[in-house]
Amino acid sequence: MFQLHCPHCGATREEEEFSYAGEAYIARPANPEEASDAEWGDYLFMRKNTRGWFWEQWQHTAGCRKVFVVKRHTASYQIAGSWTLAEGKAHYLKESEA
């Protein structure tokens, strides 16, 4: 059991109050008309499933109902922080470049 912080309403609550919404920042094919079956398959189904630090989406279902991102370690369940989707993306992109 862990506690999550919702950056939208500022509440820190137990995980039961939230719903998991999967891997964050999966890029949609830029030209949907031209994407091949394999590219669509990759976008729809293939996942990083990282063991380690992982960017994921959560929804504050029993609260403000908004979606945000959390950086969480998938083996130790430590949480590095939570951000709105836009704020988190800046951190995420910086990490991906490094």
Interface with other proteins (CB under 8 A): 1, 14-16, 19-20, 22-23, 37-38, 40-42, 44-51, 54, 56, 72, 74-77
Three-class SS state of 39? helix
Structure tokens that stand for 69 in this block: 């991102």
Minimum CB separation from other proteins for residue 50, in Å? 8
Q: Which is nearer to other proteins, 77 or 95 (CB)?
A: 77
Closest CA to 57 of 66, 49, 48: 66
Q: Which is nearer to other proteins, 54 or 92 (CB)?
A: 54
Minimum CB separation from other proteins for residue 53, in Å? 12
- Among all chains, which residue has been given the structure tokens 């959390």? 70
CB hemisphere CA count around 93 (13 angstroms): 7
Q: Which is nearer to other proteins, 20 or 80 (CB)?
A: 20
Q: Which is nearer to other proteins, 10 or 22 (CB)?
A: 22
Minimum CB separation from other proteins for residue 15, in Å? 6
- Distance between start and end Cα atoms, the chain: 31
Closest CA to 46 of 70, 67, 27: 27
